[in-house]
């Protein structure tokens, strides 16, 4: 087994890593040819489909309308032996629907631990006020590259 195989995250580890992470870097392709990385809050489905929201007139949306390809990155670790990352190559689907946007905004708040399920009705009513200016970005599972250096047990 190669070192690369040893540090790769399993499907279960990826799912747990996504559910325990609060911020993901979303990298779209800018019109000037430069990558456009942005830290984003997100929610994730059981099949690891990722959802985010942003303002419909944002640079991210402009980028995605002309090129839907993205890279999504979650990472942790302060020293080499702790580095753990998940890199996801996929294409964005933009959903411009207020009810879906409110639902995703609520799910992101749940994921971040900012609200509880019993607050759904009141929180969603509140979210209606800003949802009209936003859209949802949906990222279905794509190619995955992952690593967890702690699996090497300090031997490099």
Write the pLDDT tens digit of every residue in 31-60.
Answer: 888 999 999 999 999 999 999 999 999 999
Domain regions of the chain by residue span: 3-94+135-152
DSSP per-residue codes, 59-83: HHHHHHHH--EEEEEEEE-SSGGG-
Q: Note the pLDDT tens digit of each residue in 129-140.
A: 999 999 999 999
What pLDDT score does 5 carry? 78
End-to-end CA distance of the chain: 15
Considering the four listed CATH numbers 3.40.50.2300, 2.170.130.10, 2.30.110.10, 2.60.40.10, the one that applies to the domain covering 3-94+135-152 is 2.30.110.10
* pTM as predicted: 0.92
Instruction: Mark 95-116 as b/e (b = at least 16 C-beta within 10 Å).
Output: eeeeebbbbbbbbbbbbeeebe
Rounded Cα distance between 25 and 43, Å, is 13
Q: Note the pLDDT tens digit of each residue in 57-113.
A: 999 999 999 999 999 999 999 998 999 999 999 999 999 999 999 999 999 999 999
What pLDDT score does 44 carry? 96
Task: Give me the residue label for tokens 């099949």.
Answer: 47
The arithmetic mean of pLDDT across residues 124-128, rounded, is 93
Asked if residue 4 has pLDDT above 80, the reply is no
Asked if residue 146 has pLDDT above 70, the reply is yes
Asked if residue 156 has pLDDT above 70, the reply is no
């Amino acid at each position: 087994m190669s070192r690369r195989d040893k540090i790769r995250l399993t499907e279960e580890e990826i799912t747990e890593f996504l559910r325990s992470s609060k911020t993901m870097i979303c990298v779209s392709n800018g019109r000037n040819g430069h990558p456009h990385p942005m830290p984003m809050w997100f929610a994730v489905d059981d099949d690891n489909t990722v959802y985010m929201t942003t303002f419909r007139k944002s640079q991210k949306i402009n980028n995605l309308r002309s090129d839907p390809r993205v890279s999504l990155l979650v990472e942790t670790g302060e020293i080499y032996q702790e580095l753990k990352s998940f890199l996801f190559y996929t294409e964005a689907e933009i959903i411009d629907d207020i009810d879906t946007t409110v639902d995703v905004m609520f799910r992101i708040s749940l994921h971040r631990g900012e609200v509880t399920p019993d607050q759904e009705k009141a929180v969603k009513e509140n979210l209606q006020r800003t949802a009209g200016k936003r859209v949802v970005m949906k990222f279905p599972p794509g190619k995955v590259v992952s690593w967890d250096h702690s699996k090497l047990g300090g031997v490099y």
